[in-house]
Structure 1
Amino acid sequence: MQFWTSTGWRQGVIVEVGPQPTNDAKINLNMEKKYFIAQADQPTWRDYYDWGVVAHVTRAPYWTGFFVGDWKLGQGMAVNTRTDGTYAWTEVAYSSATDTLRIKADGTYEWKDLSGKVTKGRWTAAPDGPGIVVKDARGGIWTLRNQTNVVEEKTARYESARLYPSDRSQMSQAATRPLRR
């Protein structure tokens, strides 16, 4: 199998799915749907990865099918646990999306930016793993990759992805949409 990291796709072996059950519901929530992976090139380096960044090495329909639908781009979410010394609570803060991206099953897309300009084109499958490639209004090439994790699914009720620029001259962008499952 392969998993996505900040340096690209890496190969590995799934050692375990999720943690051993505990009596701590918070730990179980944060570790649910994670894979404990041993990297192929560094088998003693093992870590947990969210299900959204793990895939088979053989191309499959979900490599592009997952992305079909409407995405809000640039939306962010921060989740913090606060305490006053007696009580603890969770705060969730959101920033609004600036752009929208509609991925269609027929291989086309529409990217509407903050100014209202719509860029239309054909998306292509990412050549190196799950994801799709699109162009923005200035001709910049971006790859949309799945980043869905259990915390965002259960806290904000959305699926997430990330748009990565090909030339790295810009920051990647968060992409979200309501949970479909």
Structure 2
Amino acid sequence: MQIKTITKGNILLAQPALNDSTFNRTVVLITDHCEKGSIGFILNKPMIHSVNLFVDELESHNTVYEGGPVETENLYYLHSRPDLIANSEHICKNLYWSGDYQDVKKAINSGLISESEIRFYLGYSGWGKQQLENEVEDNAWIIVNEDVDIFQDWDNNLWKLQMKKLGGEHLLWLNTPADPSMN
């Protein structure tokens, strides 16, 4: 369902006309939204690297996802296990981000948390005060309130699925190339 107000837990769908290589055909989960700005993570841009390439002390082969263009030298995580990871920030339903890294390391290395309960992101997507609202107003993004299982292995298929759910004029974009000049 398409909505107009941005809140934590919303999903942003990049409009097909959004001419930005970072956000082309992306689905972004908003993890924080306040007067100062917004933070989110791209859900559908898996990298070819696993988390243990970035943090060798983690005994995990979880795929790392491109979270966005901000602080791309830092690794972030979303999870569903606040019982194992202290100081986690609640996003919505059973979804959390951040938390004590030592708890993450212990939970992963001792097998207490499965790959389907934590997702890693390199960088994040960030917007300053009123920036995201302005982009939504300029039709760069569609805001939806959907339950998306962020722990599935999504690629650009997620963007197409969400556009299909919207229906109507959004169906036109399903089979067009990501770069219209290739048409």
Q: TM-score, normalised by structure 2?
A: 0.25
Structure with the largest fraction of strand: 1
Structure ranking higher in helix proportion: 2
Q: Which has the larger radius of gyration?
A: 1
TM, length-normalised to structure 1: 0.25
